[in-house]
Amino acid sequence: MKLLPLLPIAPLLLTPPPAPTQLAQLSSPLALHQTLAEGHQARVTGLTFHPDYPHLLISSGGKNDSQVVVWNWQSGKRNQRDRAQGSGIESFALSANGEWLVTTGADRYIHFWEMPEGKFTHTLNVDFYNLLSIVISPDDRLLVSGGLEGIRLWDLQNRRSLSTLARFLPVTELAMHPDGTQLASGTIQGTIQLWDLTTGDRQQTWQAHEDTIQALAFTPDGAGLVTVGQDEIIYLWETTTGNLSQAFEHPPGSVGAIALHPSEPFLVASIQNRLYLWNWLTGEQLAQWPLHTNWISSLTFSSDGQWLASGAYDGEIKIWHWPQFQLRP
């Protein structure tokens, strides 16, 4: 299938990958800065720092919650709370300009929220049930939704459907390449697909896990793709070849969330209530910390990499000051 792009996509210039440094002991601790309470009554399904208002954090809730909350995380106060997704929010994406938050759930709707006010504004009927993932291109032109019935492309600016990228592909996760020209999708069968968004062509498919893909994330340089499966394994794959680059060892247990540091080769993942840290270039595990009393369900870094937000299944959110590392000579 050939797909006409919304507009010619000019790849963004990406920062070269960091040198494979060997990181040693912490030179400063992972320090708790703030605990945000009375926002969600159930699992925190999404967290993101606002790009233009660094003191604002946006969070979403899952089943029996369905709320979007805007926090002033520096003061710990809740700025705004609104509800729209009746089935619970499974995935959300914030536009690069910070003006719109888009949410999806198990129903067939995409909801739009005006930011930074955090007010629900309108809804799109997708005609696909069980929407599980949504991403936005870095230029804010393209919106991609994925679910158990396939992948659809949308004109974000005009709120209209463009085309169906894949029909009857049971997608559980999506990830957008940092330059906006490539899309990764993961399925309930444990397969990964890479798509060229300038043509609509499927570039690669490989079997990454034995069962459902639970998380996907491109490395900041776009050369690697981190995948998490229901088989409790975390892998790093080369995007040009589909070859396995790293397997990250951890204690037995389901992985609740992952996040990649924006400028350093750090990968974090939650297992139950603990956070594990690796150097994704070398595969070396660097540290682990208990963060919550309940299991962790969501993680995100601030754009400057100085802060980490974690959300748990009981609705609690914590803000952590990211530690400094001393390099080995």
Per-position pLDDT tens, the chain of length 329: 334 344 444 455 454 444 444 555 566 789 999 999 888 988 999 999 999 999 999 999 987 788 899 999 999 999 888 876 567 898 999 999 999 999 998 778 899 999 998 888 888 888 777 889 999 999 999 999 999 889 999 999 999 999 999 999 999 999 999 999 999 999 999 999 999 999 999 999 999 999 999 999 999 999 999 999 999 999 999 999 999 999 999 999 999 999 999 999 999 999 999 999 999 999 999 999 999 999 999 999 999 999 999 999 999 999 999 998 765 55
- pLDDT, residue 109, reads 86
**Does residue 31 sit within a domain?**
no
Does residue 257 lie in a domain region? yes
DSSP class of 14: P
Any domain includes 18: no
Report the pLDDT value the prediction gives residue 25, as an integer from 0 to 100.
Answer: 59
| H/E run at residue 272 | none
**CATH number of residue 152's parent domain:** 2.130.10.10
Query: How deeply is 3 buried, as exposed, middle or buried, from its count of CB atoms within 10 A (0-12, 13-18, 19+)?
Result: middle
Q: How far is CA 71 from CA 68, 155, 173, 257, 279, in A?
A: 10, 29, 26, 21, 30
- Range list of β-strands (E), 84-190: 89-94, 100-105, 109-114, 119-125, 131-136, 142-147, 150-155, 160-167, 171-176, 182-187
Query: Which residue range forms the structural domain that includes residue 289?
Result: 40-323
Tell me the C-alpha distance between 288 and 324, whole Å.
Answer: 14
Answer yes or no: is 120 within a domain. yes
Q: Roughly how many angstroms between the first and final C-alpha of the chain, as a whole number? A: 52
- Count of the separate structural domains present in the chain: 1
**Separation between Cα atoms, residue 232 and residue 287, nearest integer Å:** 19
Which pLDDT belongs to residue 245? 97
**Which of the 8 DSSP states describes residue 11?**
P
How far is the C-alpha of 175 from the C-alpha of 17, rounded, in Å?
19
Q: What pLDDT is attached to residue 42?
A: 87
**Distance set, CA 101 to CA 68, 110, 195, 254, 283 (Å):** 9, 10, 24, 28, 34
**Residue 38, pLDDT score:** 84
pLDDT of residue 170: 95
The label of the residue with tokens 């089935």 reads 87
Residue 226 lies in a domain: yes
Tell me how far apart the alpha carbons of residues 197 and 159 are, in angstroms, rounded to a whole number: 18
**Which residue, 253, 254, 201, 258, is CA-closest to 225?**
258
Tell me the backbone φ, ψ of residue 186, rounded to 5 degrees: -125, 150
Residue 53 located in a structural domain = yes
Angle formed at CA 35 by CA 32 and CA 40, multiple of 5 degrees: 145
Residue 17 lies in a domain: no
- Residue 29 falls inside a structural domain: no
